[in-house]
Amino acid sequence: MFKFNKIIFMIMLIMSSLISISAYSWFSMWLGLEINLLTVIPLFLKKSNKYPSESMMKYFFIQALASTLILYSILMSFNLNSTFISKFSIVLNSALLMKMGAAPFHFWFPEIIEGLNWNNTLIILTWQKLAPMIMLSYSMMNPTFICFSIIFSSIISGIQGLNQISLRKIMAYSSINHNGWMISNLLVSSDMWLFYFMIYTFISMNLIYAFKLFKINMIQQLMNILNYNKLVKISILLNFLSLGGLPPFIGFLPKWLTIYFMTEKTFLFLTNILIICTLIVLYFYLRLILSTLTFKIKESLIFSFKKMNIIFLFINSINFTGLILTSIFPI
């Protein structure tokens, strides 16, 4: 069924993020964020069960709170005198971190994602982070606070994600971890941030498309898909290793550049913490793909018979060859 309203809201969602990242004044940025909130909520709607409505409510409350804080800090700091005061920049930064779901303000994030379908999960994981992150890069007056958030993101995502069996929550915690990386990118170079964001979006898109296609919600279900074609199954699930940042895959590239830039700016301690905590995240990614890699598993239960389309395989091949291609054609 062709849903015209969803198309309209989707366009408005994109437009509103663009409004807030290209705005000239803080007030219009706030305006863009508000439009963004009000257009993404109808997209969540699904009439068959009540979980999306719950997520919609929670999402609305959290984002409204964050928007209020943003508006408050903007008004307070610019009313007093027209320079940005560091005290209010912490309030503003907290609100933005809350909007994107970075660590000390992350508690809503997995809960809300749990109630959504995969398309909306993809929107929340990637596109909804664009505007707050750009705004954060404009207003980082207090790097210590940001570093605090980065360290929290990486530690918390690793430890909390270990316990999950729902793929949505795992994607959410992995997204919190990547938040840590992306915010640390914002500290050193916004070009690198763009690069990281693009590749992260690409990999999550690959994974989430596969999850949607094969209707996977829990990690046990990963065992039963696509057992008639191991090659395709491996090529899908190796995206997880890419997300964890292991070398022959494309996901290593942004991590490499991030570590390079951060070391150059002598963020040595922060980089080491990020790296070590990403290993914990890698551990639970690895747990997901082990069912694929242990070839001798019992393969009598085949539930899904959907055939792969060639385009999907082609997109996945970028995952393997991306690192080599970028070394041939330097950026």
Partner 1 sequence: MMKFLFMMVFLTPLCFFSYWYLSLFLFYLSFLFIFMFNISKDYSFLSYNFGLDLLSYSMVMLSFWICSLMLLASAKIFKKKDYYELFMFNILFLMFSLFMVFSSLNFFIFYLFFEISLIPTFFLIIGWGYQPERISAGKYLLFYTLLASLPMMVGIFFIFKSVNSLDFYFLSLNLDNFLFYLCINMVFFVKMPMYLIHLWLPKAHVEAPISGSMILAGVMLKLGGYGLFRVMKMFLNMGLKINFIFITISLIGSVYMSLICLQQSDIKLLIAYSSVSHMGLVLSGLLTLNLMGMWGSLVLMLGHGLCSSGLFCLANISYERLNSRSLYLNKGLMNFMPTLSMWWFLFCISNMAAPPSLNLLGEVLLINSLIIYSKLTMIMLALFSFFSACYSLFLYSYTQHGLFSSGIYSFTYISNREFLLLVLHWIPLNFLIFKGEIFSVWI
Which positions lie near partner 1, rule CB under 8 A?
Answer: 230-231, 234, 241, 246-248, 252, 256, 259-260, 263-264, 268, 271-272, 275-276, 278-279, 282-283, 286, 290, 293-296
189: left (phi over 0), alpha (psi -120 to 50) or beta: beta
Q: Provide the minimum distance between the beta carbon of 256 and partner 1 in the complex, in angstroms, as a whole number.
A: 7
Query: What is the rounded distance in angstroms from the CA atom of residue 114 to the CA atom of residue 251?
Result: 25
Task: Tell me the one-letter amino acid at 27.
Answer: F
Query: What is the rounded distance in angstroms from the CA atom of residue 291 to the CA atom of residue 288?
Result: 7
Q: Provide the minimum distance between the beta carbon of 161 and partner 1 in the complex, in angstroms, as a whole number.
A: 16
Our CB check for partner 1 shows the closer of 198 and 231 to be: 231
Phi, psi values for residue 135, rounded to 5°: -65, -35
Q: Provide the minimum distance between the beta carbon of 87 and partner 1 in the complex, in angstroms, as a whole number.
A: 34
Which residues pair with residue 166 across a beta bridge? 218
Q: Provide the minimum distance between the beta carbon of 322 and partner 1 in the complex, in angstroms, as a whole number.
A: 13
Our CB check for partner 1 shows the closer of 68 and 321 to be: 321
Our CB check for partner 1 shows the closer of 152 and 252 to be: 252
Our CB check for partner 1 shows the closer of 290 and 325 to be: 290
Q: Provide the minimum distance between the beta carbon of 115 and partner 1 in the complex, in angstroms, as a whole number.
A: 32
Our CB check for partner 1 shows the closer of 80 and 268 to be: 268
What distances in angstroms separate CA 241 from CA 51, 73, 246, 252, 292, one per listed residue?
Answer: 30, 40, 6, 9, 12
Our CB check for partner 1 shows the closer of 86 and 163 to be: 163
Which residues pair with residue 218 across a beta bridge? 166
Half-sphere exposure of 175 (CA within 13 A, CB side): 30
266: left (phi over 0), alpha (psi -120 to 50) or beta: left
Q: Provide the minimum distance between the beta carbon of 281 and partner 1 in the complex, in angstroms, as a whole number.
A: 12
